[in-house]
Chain A
Amino acid sequence: MLYIIEDAINGILMGSIYGLAALGLTLIFGVLKVINFAHGSLLMVSMYVAYWAVTLTGLHPYIALVLVVPVMFIFGYLLQDIVIKPIFKAEKNVREPITVIIVTTGVWYILDNLTLLIFGPQYRNLEANPLRGKMLELGEMLISVPKLWGFGAAVLTTLAIHLFLQRTATGRAIRATSLDREAASLMGINAYKIYNLAFGIGTAIAGVAAVALVPFYNVFPTVGVLFDIKCFIIVVLGGLGSIGGALLGGIIIGLIESVAPQFMAATWTEAIVYGLFLLVLFVKPSGIFGVKHDW
């Protein structure tokens, strides 16, 4: 029994980090109405930035945050401004800008292959970092310390994004654009600037997730693909565009992944995850926690 509780706790912690990775995806979707297939690759790039920052400076892995977050914000901002915005402009009157989705897929391929070219296929990890393998003893249970910190980062980031969207002028402009782009432009809001910002923020959040992951997770060129699929499922579970839903969706996936193997062959875990995904799509396509979206 204790093992199950221990697994459940570690699953919740890991799941919250999945949720953190998915938060940026759901934010970008909420505003641009486009699934960003490059999101996992942006997480991967963030992990490399964090990895090299820590390896080259020898600083504590979490200090990489002050570098990774602004770098990834600028990266995402410019990616939207230079690569994606021209497509949006060309398809101004198209309701479902499918070409934009194709472009984000292209960005995914380019980033993954460029990384492979530059850094090679090998797995890298921060071997001698103070968080690696560190456990907190709770009675007889062992709780992963870096995952616990990741949980804290996920909760704080979700809260911060929520407050930013609710309380600041820029946050209100982002919500307004998300709800009705044309009406927002009649209020003097430049939708393309809002898209740049949302993309920058979404990518910066992937940066936070990367810093949480790097102390205990391998870094390699296709690591983003693992997260892409998870993030997409989480975002659908939580409700596309739902900020709190991303965290809760992530925790559900983390729980299933950690507890289910106790009761059945591990391959069944994925079947459960995909089954749940399909069930939600059939029964409540707005997601378990989503209204249309909750901001």
Chain B
Amino acid sequence: MSLLEVRNIDVSYGDVQVIFDLSLKIEEGEVVSIIGGNGSGKSTLLRTISGLMQASAGEISFEGKPIHRSQPEEIVEKGIIHVPEGRRLFSLMTVLDNLIVGAHNSRARGQAAATLEKVYELLPRLKERHNQIAMTLSGGEQQMVAIGRGLMSQPKLLMLDEPSLGLAPILIKSIFETVRQIADQGTTVLLVEQDVRHSLSLSDRGYVLEHGRIAIEGPASQLLDDPHIKTAYLGI
């Protein structure tokens, strides 16, 4: 049994279908990348897994149980955490309050203090800035808060939507290092990215999404050598 199984889902915005008959699997402990250009349907896929959108066909199961009819907050309780594109911090709240809200679900709430220590260890910058209002942070710091807030909910599966978006190259490197550390500590990660080289090099497997369909899938090392990916996404 895979940790997450997506089987043949279709997803639409009104009349416009953007995901077609898509299937994927994630095993416990894996880091899986989903890569694809702008508008290929990556965010829509994550929004469907986390329950913000409903698939019009197909099934999604987590730990063997169906979740495609569940509400977002029920899916959080089960252990899937979605760190959305564009960070979506609670802008007028402090860093610490953002992190505490991350531990709202019943699995995480009792252990919030201990989890907070771990998050501060991983992202020491957040401890320095804990009293600062989230919207006054730099882009890189905001992304760290978004990831830290996700970790506070004690994810079994952490889904990150373009964590490197809009960051300076040096920060991108440190964000990917953080993701690697999170995975090394045993959290399963589903990473959605346009930065193909970085994301594939820290992943076990990858899927390439084109126009709402899986175009290529395979071990990350193999995808990095794929001629189509080299020309279309790596510019070699």
CA distance A186 to B92 in the complex (A): 18
Which of these binds chain A: B61-69, B82-90, B218-226?
A: B82-90
CB distance from A71 to the nearest CB of B (A): 29
Is B81 part of the binding interface, using a Cβ–Cβ cutoff of 8 Å?
Answer: yes
Which of these binds chain B: A79-87, A223-231, A266-274, A287-295?
A: A287-295
Is B101 part of the binding interface, using a Cβ–Cβ cutoff of 8 Å?
Answer: yes
CA distance A187 to B88 in the complex (A): 11
B155-199 CB mask vs A (1 if < 8 Å, else 0) is 000000000000000000000000000000000000000000000
Residues of B within 8 A of A179 (CB): 90-93
Is A74 part of the binding interface, using a Cβ–Cβ cutoff of 8 Å?
Answer: no
A186, B81: Cβ atoms closer than 8 Å: yes
Residues of B within 8 A of A262 (CB): none
**How many residues of chain B are within 8 Å of chain A by beta carbon?**
25
**With A169-B104, A172-B101 in contact, is A190–B73 under 8 Å at CB?**
yes
Q: Which of B52, B89, B104 contacts A189 (CB 8 A)?
A: B104
Residues of B within 8 A of A187 (CB): 76, 101-102, 104-105, 149, 153
**How many residues of chain A are within 8 Å of chain B by beta carbon?**
21
Closest A residue by C-beta to B91? A179
CB distance from B44 to the nearest CB of A (A): 14
CB distance from A267 to the nearest CB of B (A): 41
CB distance from B87 to the nearest CB of A (A): 9
B55-82 CB mask vs A (1 if < 8 Å, else 0) is 0000000000000000111001100011
**With A175-B93, A179-B91, A291-B92 in contact, is A186–B101 under 8 Å at CB?**
no
Residues of B near any A CB (own CB < 8 A): 50, 52, 71-73, 76-77, 81-82, 84, 88-93, 97, 100-102, 104-105, 109, 149, 153
